[in-house]
Copies of this chain bind each other. A is one copy, B any other.
Amino acid sequence: MSDEISQESEVTRRSFLKTTGAVAAAAGLAMTGLAATVRQAEAACGEMPKKWDETYDVIVVGTGFAGLSAAIEARHAGAEVLVIEKMRTHGGNSIINGGEMAVAGTKWQKEAGIQDSPELFMKDLLKAGSNLNHPELARTIAEQSGEALDWCQNFVGARFVKLVFHGGHSVKRSVQTDNASGSGLVNPLFAKAKSMGVKFQFTTKMERLITNKEGRVVGLEIRKGYKFPDDRSGKASFVKARKAVVLASGGFSQNVELRQIQDPRIDSRFDSTNHPGATGEATLAACRAGAMDVQMDWIQMGPWTSPDEKGFGHVPQFCERLVGYGPMIDPKTGRRFIQETGNRKVRADAMMALGYPTIIFGDAVNVKRQVLSHTLEKGMANGAIKRFDTIEELAANYGIPLAALKEEIAKWNSYVEKRKDPDFNCKIFPETTPTVVAPFYACRLWPRVHHCMGGLVIDKNAQVKGFNLKPIKGLYAAGEVTGGVHGAVRLGTCAMLDCVVFGRIAGKNAAKEKNWG
């Protein structure tokens, strides 16, 4: 699988020999010396490698839902496939995902008497995305969701067991893996890909997309033995892709410098729910090779994370179950400051404008009814959720002015009685009771970077578009590395679907490309 010299170099060498060979040969000049000089000039200015170290039909970058789906489809179509992954293990963000996927028209929906359709799903996607979605991309995931679920279950062997509701969807339409985790899909995908003969190289980073004179993608410069995040680690190597490269390298939530260019508010004060490797170098490398990016400034902040635990943590489950049942407080003033049941963006924007962590709390009755005991136990065990016997203790712990806080709780309780919040129009549920019964459970909230809506421009064939507004031959992309599917705001449980649908499309189309050499 390794060619010493690319066809590209051969052609140039042949024409060079044609021009000068006869004369040089007559002089007894060693041909290798001349050819080497020309090849050197080419490598320096045209950036084609002197030799390819390995050759495959299709190279996939990334081992999350999208990359693995692409690899399986490309292999299924007969291609020799290499998947590279810069981290030491497979799965990227997918493996720490909640394992939920939006699908319109499942058997579970039919059983539950829920009317759904790709059209309704598409409408929800555009509404959430403020119509910034590329319509043909949103339509593609809505229309192909049923087939994607079928493939995950019947071809890949993943198991989905229940239907759950997520905000922003018109109906209950998300299915969940049997282990309530993305690993419930990503592990079967990985096993399937390996069983089909897909090759994997871990600790291998994509450095550069290599294009020929016509701008066709012909391979990658990679670093083998790369130790994230040390950019000098590993050894440069060149892999030729006879047919195509598929980028499925995820977003850039962990890249502070890049996200501050896109949205300067999101500086180093903000952690991310993502795995550490979500740093987006592959996106930038693709742009340097002429790929066009879009809507990169739409970065979703999760308003439900706590600064007192790492990663995604348990507080999001505490917070999201408690909104509408207990107040959210600005600790400096002791006052409420936002509609607690508002959407992610509204809440995160308000919290970022405040500039410091806020507090959400509930009393024993509301917390016990709404929050899962598992969540409460885990959150208290790691210290992010605290229990207080009195409001005085709670105020003292967080440094909240007590008098103001007591006034605000009294006001909140009066709104709960009336089922109406004239201050912030928070949704108060029929089951909400006043915040009065000790003990009180509270935690600090500070948004975390959760998802990058923007990325590389693709068409409905998952082919990447260049800054010349034309598709780039030999380059496909799928999943969070792309932009346009979700528009301004990604709807919950649509990431997994996006990855599977466009990963499969990318893999199929990559395998269909004609060999360039």
Contacts and interface: CB of A to CB of B under 8 A. Distances in A.
Interface of A: 12, 16, 19-20, 23-24, 26-29, 33-34, 37-38, 41-42, 44-48, 131-135, 213, 257-258, 261-265, 284-285, 287-288, 290, 292-298, 353, 454, 457, 465-469, 484
A263 B483 CA distance: 12
Contacts of A296: 294
B23 A37 contact: no
A42 B41 CA distance: 7
Nearest to A297: B295
17 contacts: A16-B41, A23-B27, A23-B33, A24-B27, A27-B27, A41-B42, A44-B46, A45-B47, A45-B48, A131-B265, A134-B264, A261-B469, A285-B467, A287-B467, A288-B466, A295-B297, A297-B297
A128 to B, nearest CB: 15
Contacts of A27: 23-24, 26-29
A23 B24 CA distance: 9
A44 B26 CA distance: 28
A12 B41 contact: yes
A287 B287 contact: yes
B133 A264 contact: yes
Contacts of A42: 41, 45
Given A135-B264, A258-B469, A265-B131, A16 B45 contact: no
Nearest to A8: B45
Contacts of A134: 261, 264
Contacts of A469: 257-258, 261, 284
Contacts of A465: 261
A33 B46 contact: no
A69 to B, nearest CB: 25
Closest 3 CB pairs of A and B: A45-B46, A27-B27, A287-B467
B288 A290 contact: yes
Q: Which of A47, A258, A293, A457 has the most CB of B within 10 A?
A: A293
Given A297-B295, A469-B284, A29 B24 contact: yes
Given A257-B469, A297-B297, A263 B19 contact: no
A122 B199 CA distance: 54
A288 to B, nearest CB: 5
A136 to B, nearest CB: 9
Contacts of A297: 132, 294-295, 297-298, 454
B457 A261 contact: yes
A44 B41 CA distance: 11
Nearest to A260: B134
Nearest to A138: B264
A60 B23 CA distance: 46
Contacts of A20: 29, 33-34, 37
A132 B12 contact: no
A436 to B, nearest CB: 35
Contacts of A294: 261-262, 296-297
Nearest to A457: B261
A264 B213 contact: no
Nearest to A13: B41
Contacts of A454: 297
A131 B284 contact: no
Nearest to A18: B37
Contact of A37 (B19, B33, B261, B484): B19
A213, A296, A454: most-surrounded residue (chain B CB, <10 A)? A296
A468 to B, nearest CB: 7
In this complex, the member of A23, A133, A135 whose beta carbon has the largest number of chain B beta carbons within 10 angstroms is A23
A124 to B, nearest CB: 16
A37 B132 CA distance: 50
Chain B CB count within 10 A is highest, among A45, A257, A258, A469, for: A45
Contact of A213 (B45, B135, B292): B45
Contacts of A287: 287, 292, 467
A228 B293 CA distance: 27
A240 B258 CA distance: 32
